[in-house]
């Protein structure tokens, strides 16, 4: 991973930054209708298998830890976890908390049109606090 790293403008536009450390960004999708976190490891590789074993371990641990916090915070019934990157090639992982009957259910969120809603600053800060505990444990 590298110090010289610029977040892809589409990811910057679509998200609130929850954490930005030397190894990764943790971003919250601005549309609060479906809870959606995006992890961006600070690497120029585009596939997970191109990362070192240790980088993969950190990303996998982070992804699954966030999924667990999401289930607690949003009572998510099913986590959707994915690395896609067809449109934004910069390596990023989606962690999305889904519920039966949500705005896209049972379809996927990618490419779907669904209503917009916004997080309050209080909600963002609450989520940052909930995630900070796992973040401290990983690095």
Among 60, 114, 130, 134, binds its own copies (CB under 8 A): 60
**Does residue 45 belong to the site contacting its own copies (CB under 8 A)?**
no
Q: Which of 4, 77, 3, 84 is nearest to 38 (CA)?
A: 84
* CB closer to its own copies, 78 vs 125: 78
SS3 38: strand
Q: Please state, in angstroms and as integers, the Cα–Cα distance from residue 41 to each residue in 8, 24, 113, following that order.
A: 12, 4, 27
Give the whole-angstrom CA distance, residue 109 versus residue 92. Answer: 15
CA torsion through residues 32, 139, 136, 67, sign: positive
**Does residue 103 belong to the site contacting its own copies (CB under 8 A)?**
no
Q: Which helix or strand (DSSP H or E) is residue 39 part of?
A: strand 36-41
Count the residues of the shown chain that bind its own copies, applying the rule CB under 8 A: 29
Least distance in Å: CB of 25 to its own copies? Answer: 19
**Does residue 56 belong to the site contacting its own copies (CB under 8 A)?**
yes
**Does residue 79 belong to the site contacting its own copies (CB under 8 A)?**
yes
**Does residue 81 belong to the site contacting its own copies (CB under 8 A)?**
yes
Which residues of this protein are in contact with its own copies, per CB under 8 A? 46-49, 56, 60, 64-65, 67-68, 71, 78-87, 89, 98, 105-108, 110-111
């Amino acid at each position: 991973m590298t110090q010289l790293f610029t977040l892809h403008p589409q990811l910057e536009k679509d998200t609130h930054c929850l954490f930005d450390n030397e190894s990764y960004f943790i971003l919250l999708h601005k549309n609060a209708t479906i809870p959606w976190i995006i992890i961006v490891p600070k690497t120029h590789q585009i596939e997970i298998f191109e990362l070192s074993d240790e980088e993969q371990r950190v990303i996998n641990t982070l992804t699954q830890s966030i999924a667990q916090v999401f289930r607690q915070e949003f009572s998510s019934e099913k986590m959707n976890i994915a690395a896609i990157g067809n449109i934004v090639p910069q390596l990023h992982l989606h962690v999305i908390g889904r519920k039966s009957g949500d705005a896209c259910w049972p379809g996927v969120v990618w490419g779907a049109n669904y209503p917009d809603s916004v997080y309050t600053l209080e909600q963002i800060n609450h989520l940052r606090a909930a995630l900070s505990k796992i973040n401290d444990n990983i690095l």
